[in-house]
């Protein structure tokens, strides 16, 4: 006996080859019926024997296409119909508004094979793609996701491409960016003056790279600046021109085997490296590494990634490069360049020539950065290849726009049980990034089709994002404390509810007392928090200058603990000749331009400077990163002691005993690696002790670790181990960054909870 059922599928099911897949699956099971795109996703009707339909329903989620994602599946009986075949029904134009958009995906193996086959019509074609791979997010202008709404609109498909596009059984059925050398985008090599050069652009570009040129190459989410990584002169030239003194460069290598000769990958890191998202993977350098010092100086890790566009593959296949430095094309922290004219305008002093093409990038999207920490994946930056896939929330949320912090900004928009985080927007101190912020915010609302009921922002009155939020007068604003947002972000992605103990360690965040926080133990739920513990406040002499010059933090700590006379006579600060010592002491004594901070990042800075690792920084968190990089891992270790005091019902962690021991070690000539290790261990010991006390008082057993300092693998591992030994349930970040790149998720979760409270 025949039965008929209707199955509604939602999630990421459009533009990813879902309907052809359903067609093949239904045909395989001998079913008739139809499949179509709807506003909610995909609707399937299948008719046939009961058992075949059961099999079909079982295999549907199990065998779904690689890029698809199913969020809900609902099935209901229907009366049988007269029909003899299975059909794909064309969608009405209004369709496809509530479906999820796929991130940009690395070239698939099938496409790669075609590109490398001299007999194929796409041989060496740099814009080969199919429904399983290629650009998505970065070429979408408007919804529905159809060719006219993408930057492929201007390219009319040739007869062969059109036939593929129309054939439900073809891999390119409804592949919106489908193209070939006949009808699609083309490469062009342009010199710094904007003149197109003759000859094969790809071969010419390869010759120039081999000769040591700095080249701007148009990629998926923006331009890269590219040099041959084996050519040390070219690498230093790029550093000089980009004014990037020491910050590591990412390096693209042709395959996993090459990556493994340069760095050590565990299973998690290797999987990330070859994944379809193709992020930059940070991994520990190998000693014999021949170029690590120019590419990533004084860093224990190297950022490596594999080719993810056809053009990348061709560069390596034809050019036989071992490794190419590929860094975002921008000046310092400005947004990445995406337009051809923009590139010529913004990069003439940096790039010798430009390898570009006529497929427009509509949305900037930097490379994502991940690493493996203790067997799980961690995001340093979640962007290309992941955005705009949502983070799934436990409960449906009212629509909220959360605008993030100031540095490493991202924004978040909630819709039902999804939180959509934007691509990496960057540092909003930068005027160029402000425009990008507005652009990304507008675009995300457009493609998610959500009008927020509230805007969540940081409490810092001077953040660009805060001021922007407060200007949107049509929507109520909800201010969220920075470290509360960090804890909530960790809770949200782990789908847990409060109250929890949150240990938030980062550089800085505006506190409810107007001071800079950043070494905090909070007892928090989604509505509110209590500050249960903190690092003792210390002055930041010179304000922002103290962030750029870690020696100032070292001086401040020593002054706090040991006083004027000590600082005058210790001779530890060559930066402070006789005539500048007194003004600094005045500053500290009177608190002039010396805000209070409890930031853990500032403590790292002080220790890093004091033991002679990094006294001035060239990029954010450099002092802490280099301090971690030198941790000695062998032998016994006696952690430095801290002291926990109770003040006004709150635990205050004092660093005086730690600095006493550190000074003694300095005098004894103990190695930096050992001092760094004792410091890391000491911090983990004291925070564990403090959290034990909070457990005693509040009876809470779940701990969320969040904040930028948890990008420090040693600290994360030590905290996790020690807390687990004490039988705490420990939660960390694995879907969004622990640092400020994940802040917006927590802001959104808190605002959503407060809105819900108001409504009920």
**Do residues 743 and 485 lie in contact, with contact meaning Cβ atoms separated by under 8 Å?**
yes
Least CB distance to Fe ion at residue 272 (A) = 24
Least CB distance to Fe ion at residue 409 (A) = 11
Least CB distance to Fe ion at residue 485 (A) = 8
36 binds, among Zn ion, Fe ion, none (CB under 5 to 8 A by kind): none
Q: Please give the Cα distance from 15 to 176 (Å, whole number).
A: 7
Q: Under the criterion CB under 5 A, does residue 546 sit at the interface with Zn ion?
A: no
Q: Is the Cα torsion angle 174, 175, 180, 184 positive or negative in sign?
A: positive
Least CB distance to Fe ion at residue 289 (A) = 32
Give residue for tokens 């360690």: 505
132 binds, among Fe ion, Zn ion, none (CB under 5 to 8 A by kind): Zn ion
Which residue's CB is nearer to Zn ion, number 120 or number 729? 120
What is the distance between the terminal CA atoms of the chain, rounded to a whole angstrom? Answer: 50
Residue among 594, 572, 418 at smallest CA distance from 516: 594
Q: Under the criterion CB under 5 A, does residue 183 sit at the interface with Zn ion?
A: yes
Q: Under the criterion CB under 5 A, does residue 130 sit at the interface with Zn ion?
A: yes
Q: Token pair of 95, please?
A: 């369709």
Q: Residue 252 to residues 241, 259, 414, 469: CA-CA distances in angstroms?
A: 20, 9, 34, 38
Least CB distance to Zn ion at residue 186 (A) = 12
Q: Which of 63, 117, 182, 582 binds Zn ion (CB under 5 A)?
A: 182
DSSP code of residue 208: H
Least CB distance to Zn ion at residue 158 (A) = 4
Which residue's CB is nearer to Zn ion, number 162 or number 494? 162
Which residue's CB is nearer to Fe ion, number 7 or number 516? 516
Least CB distance to Zn ion at residue 201 (A) = 19
516 binds, among Zn ion, Fe ion, none (CB under 5 to 8 A by kind): none
Least CB distance to Fe ion at residue 282 (A) = 20
Q: Please give the Cα distance from 108 to 100 (Å, whole number).
A: 21
Q: Which residue is nearest to Fe ion (CB)?
A: 506
740 binds, among Zn ion, Fe ion, none (CB under 5 to 8 A by kind): Fe ion
Q: Which of 158, 644, 685, 730 binds Zn ion (CB under 5 A)?
A: 158
Phi first, then psi, for residue 373 (nearest 5°) are -130, 110
161 binds, among Fe ion, Zn ion, none (CB under 5 to 8 A by kind): Zn ion
Count of residues in contact with Zn ion, rule CB under 5 A: 10
Which residue's CB is nearer to Fe ion, number 4 or number 460? 460
Q: Under the criterion CB under 5 A, does residue 132 sit at the interface with Zn ion?
A: yes
350 binds, among Fe ion, Zn ion, none (CB under 5 to 8 A by kind): none
CA–centroid distance for 397 within its chain: 23
Instruction: Convert residues 439-468 into a mask of x (bound to Zn ion by CB under 5 A) and - (unbound).
Output: ------------------------------
158 binds, among Fe ion, Zn ion, none (CB under 5 to 8 A by kind): Zn ion
Which residue's CB is nearer to Fe ion, number 278 or number 484? 484
Which residue's CB is nearer to Zn ion, number 130 or number 623? 130
180 binds, among Zn ion, Fe ion, none (CB under 5 to 8 A by kind): Zn ion
Q: Please give the Cα distance from 372 to 276 (Å, whole number).
A: 17
Q: Please give the Cα distance from 195 to 189 (Å, whole number).
A: 8
646 binds, among Fe ion, Zn ion, none (CB under 5 to 8 A by kind): none
35 binds, among Zn ion, Fe ion, none (CB under 5 to 8 A by kind): none
CA angle, corner 439, sides to 494 and 346, nearest 5? 115
63 binds, among Fe ion, Zn ion, none (CB under 5 to 8 A by kind): none
Least CB distance to Zn ion at residue 172 (A) = 8
Least CB distance to Zn ion at residue 392 (A) = 27
In terms of phi and psi (left: phi > 0; alpha: psi -120 to 50; beta: otherwise), the region of 625 is alpha
Which residue's CB is nearer to Zn ion, number 61 or number 66? 66
Q: Which of 31, 111, 213, 501 binds Zn ion (CB under 5 A)?
A: 111
Q: Write the DSSP string, 316-341.
A: HHHH--S-EEEEESSSTTSPPP-SHH
The window from 114-122, 182-190, 391-399, 574-582 that contacts Zn ion (CB under 5 A) reads 182-190
Which residue's CB is nearer to Zn ion, number 113 or number 758? 113
Q: Cβ neighbours of residue 564 under 8 Å, at least 6 residues apart?
A: 585, 589
Which residue's CB is nearer to Fe ion, number 41 or number 509? 509
In the range 160-179, which residues lie near Zn ion by CB under 5 A? 161
Least CB distance to Fe ion at residue 647 (A) = 24
The window from 123-131, 444-452, 477-485, 611-619 that contacts Zn ion (CB under 5 A) reads 123-131
The window from 93-101, 131-139, 296-304, 679-687 that contacts Zn ion (CB under 5 A) reads 131-139
506 binds, among Zn ion, Fe ion, none (CB under 5 to 8 A by kind): Fe ion
Least CB distance to Zn ion at residue 25 (A) = 20
Least CB distance to Fe ion at residue 538 (A) = 18
Q: Is the Cα torsion angle 262, 264, 269, 274 positive or negative in sign?
A: positive
605 binds, among Zn ion, Fe ion, none (CB under 5 to 8 A by kind): none
Q: Residue 344 to residues 189, 338, 352, 362, 365: CA-CA distances in angstroms?
A: 12, 11, 10, 17, 19
Residue 528 CB coordination number (10 Å): 15
Helices (H), ranges, 247-400: 256-262, 267-274, 292-295, 310-319, 340-346
Residue 24, exposed/middle/buried by CB under 10 A (0-12, 13-18, 19+)?
middle
The window from 183-191, 277-285, 418-426, 637-645 that contacts Zn ion (CB under 5 A) reads 183-191
Residue among 471, 405, 365, 464 at smallest CA distance from 748: 405
**Do residues 169 and 209 lie in contact, with contact meaning Cβ atoms separated by under 8 Å?**
no
Residue among 301, 274, 272, 307 at smallest CA distance from 289: 301
697 binds, among Zn ion, Fe ion, none (CB under 5 to 8 A by kind): none
Q: Under the criterion CB under 5 A, does residue 180 sit at the interface with Zn ion?
A: yes
**Do residues 632 and 673 lie in contact, with contact meaning Cβ atoms separated by under 8 Å?**
yes
Which residue's CB is nearer to Zn ion, number 308 or number 573? 308
The window from 126-134, 400-408, 570-578, 724-732 that contacts Zn ion (CB under 5 A) reads 126-134
Least CB distance to Fe ion at residue 504 (A) = 7
Residue among 629, 627, 618 at smallest CA distance from 549: 618
Least CB distance to Fe ion at residue 745 (A) = 13
Least CB distance to Zn ion at residue 183 (A) = 3
Beta strands in 117-206 (DSSP E): 187-191
Which residue's CB is nearer to Fe ion, number 498 or number 708? 708
Residue 543 CB coordination number (10 Å): 15
* Site for Fe ion, rule CB under 5 A: 506, 509, 740
Which residue's CB is nearer to Fe ion, number 388 or number 509? 509
Which residue's CB is nearer to Zn ion, number 161 or number 567? 161
CA–centroid distance for 654 within its chain: 33
Stretch (H or E) spanning 507:
strand 500-510
**Do residues 263 and 304 lie in contact, with contact meaning Cβ atoms separated by under 8 Å?**
yes
Q: Token pair of 617, please?
A: 């920084």
Least CB distance to Fe ion at residue 440 (A) = 20
Residue among 423, 406, 485 at smallest CA distance from 749: 485
**Do residues 212 and 237 lie in contact, with contact meaning Cβ atoms separated by under 8 Å?**
yes
- In the complex, the residues that contact Zn ion under the rule CB under 5 A are 108, 111, 130, 132-133, 158, 161, 180, 182-183
């Amino acid at each position: 006996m025949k039965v008929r059922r209707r199955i509604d599928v939602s999630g990421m099911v459009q533009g990813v080859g879902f309907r052809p897949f359903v067609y093949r699956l239904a045909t395989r099971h001998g079913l008739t019926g139809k499949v179509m795109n709807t506003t909610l996703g995909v609707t399937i009707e299948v008719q046939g024997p009961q058992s075949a339909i059961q099999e079909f329903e079982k295999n549907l989620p199990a065998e779904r296409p690689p890029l698809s994602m199913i969020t809900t599946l609902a099935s209901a009986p229907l009366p049988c119909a007269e029909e003899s075949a299975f059909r794909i029904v064309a969608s009405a134009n209004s369709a496809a508004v509530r479906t999820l958009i796929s991130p940009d995906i690395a070239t698939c193996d099938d496409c790669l094979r075609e590109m490398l086959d001299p007999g194929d019509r796409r041989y060496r074609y740099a814009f080969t793609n199919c429904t399983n791979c290629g650009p998505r997010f970065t070429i979408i202008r408007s919804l529905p996701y159809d060719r006219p709404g993408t930057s492929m609109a201007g390219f009319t498909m040739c007869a062969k491409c059109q036939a593929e596009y129309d054939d439900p059984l073809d891999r390119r059925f409804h592949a919106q960016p489908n193209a070939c050398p006949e009808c699609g985008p083309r490469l062009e090599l342009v010199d710094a003056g904007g003149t197109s050069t003759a000859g094969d652009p790809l071969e010419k570009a390869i010759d120039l790279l081999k000769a040591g040129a700095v080249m701007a190459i148009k990629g998926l989410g923006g331009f890269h600046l590219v040099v041959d990584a084996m050519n040390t002169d070219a690498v230093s030239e790029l550093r000089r021109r980009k004014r990037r003194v020491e910050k590591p460069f990412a390096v693209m290598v042709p395959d996993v085997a090459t990556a493994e000769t340069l760095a050590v990958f565990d299973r998690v890191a290797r999987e990330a490296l070859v994944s379809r998202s193709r992020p930059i993977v940070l991994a520990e350098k190998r000693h014999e590494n021949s170029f690590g010092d120019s590419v990533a100086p004084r860093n224990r890790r190297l950022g490596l990634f594999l080719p993810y566009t056809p053009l990348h593959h061709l560069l390596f296949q034809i050019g036989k490069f071992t490794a190419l430095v590929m860094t975002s094309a921008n000046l310092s922290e400005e947004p990445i360049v995406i337009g051809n004219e923009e590139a010529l305008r913004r990069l003439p002093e940096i790039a010798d020539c430009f390898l570009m093409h006529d497929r427009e990038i509509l949305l900037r999207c930097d490379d994502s950065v991940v690493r493996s920490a203790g067997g799980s994946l961690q995001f340093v930056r979640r962007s290309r290849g992941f955005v705009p896939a949502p983070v799934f929330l436990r409960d449906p949320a009212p629509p909220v726009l959360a605008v993030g912090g100031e540095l490493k900004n991202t924004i978040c928009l909630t819709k039902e049980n999804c939180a959509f985080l934007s691509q990496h927007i960057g540092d909003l101190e930068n005027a160029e990034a402000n425009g990008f912020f507005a652009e990304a915010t507008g675009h995300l609302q457009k493609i998610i089709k959500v009008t927020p009921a509230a805007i969540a922002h940081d409490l810092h009155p001077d953040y660009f994002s805060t001021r922007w939020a407060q200007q949107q007068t049509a929507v109520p604003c909800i201010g969220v404390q920075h470290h509360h947002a960090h804890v909530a972000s960790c809770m949200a992605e782990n789908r847990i509810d409060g109250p929890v103990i949150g240990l938030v360690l980062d550089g800085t965040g505006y506190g409810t007392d107007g001071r800079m926080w950043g070494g905090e133990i909070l007892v928090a739920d989604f509505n509110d928090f209590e500050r249960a513990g903190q690092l003792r406040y210390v002055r930041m002499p010179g304000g922002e200058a103290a962030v750029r010059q870690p020696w100032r933090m070292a001086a401040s700590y020593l002054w706090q603990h040991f006083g004027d006379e000590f600082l005058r006579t210790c001779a530890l600060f060559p930066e402070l000749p006789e005539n500048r010592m007194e003004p600094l002491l005045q500053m500290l004594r009177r608190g002039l331009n010396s805000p209070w901070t409890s930031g853990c990042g500032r403590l790292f800075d002080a220790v890093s400077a004091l033991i002679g690792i990094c006294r001035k920084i060239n990029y954010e968190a450099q002092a802490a990163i280099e301090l971690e990089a030198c941790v000695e891992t062998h032998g016994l270790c006696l952690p430095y002691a801290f002291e926990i005091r109770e003040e006004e019902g709150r635990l205050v962690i004092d660093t005086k005993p730690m600095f006493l021991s550190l000074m003694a070690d300095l005098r004894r000539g103990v190695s930096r690696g050992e001092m760094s290790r004792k410091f890391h261990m000491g911090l983990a010991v004291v925070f564990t002790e403090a959290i034990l006390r909070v457990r005693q008082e509040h009876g809470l057993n779940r701990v969320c670790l969040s904040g930028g300092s948890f990008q420090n693998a040693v600290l994360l591992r030590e905290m996790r181990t020690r807390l687990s030994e004490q039988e705490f349930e420990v939660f960390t970040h694995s879907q969004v960054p622990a640092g400020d790149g994940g802040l917006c998720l927590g802001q959104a979760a808190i605002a959503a909870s407060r809105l819900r409270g108001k409504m009920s």
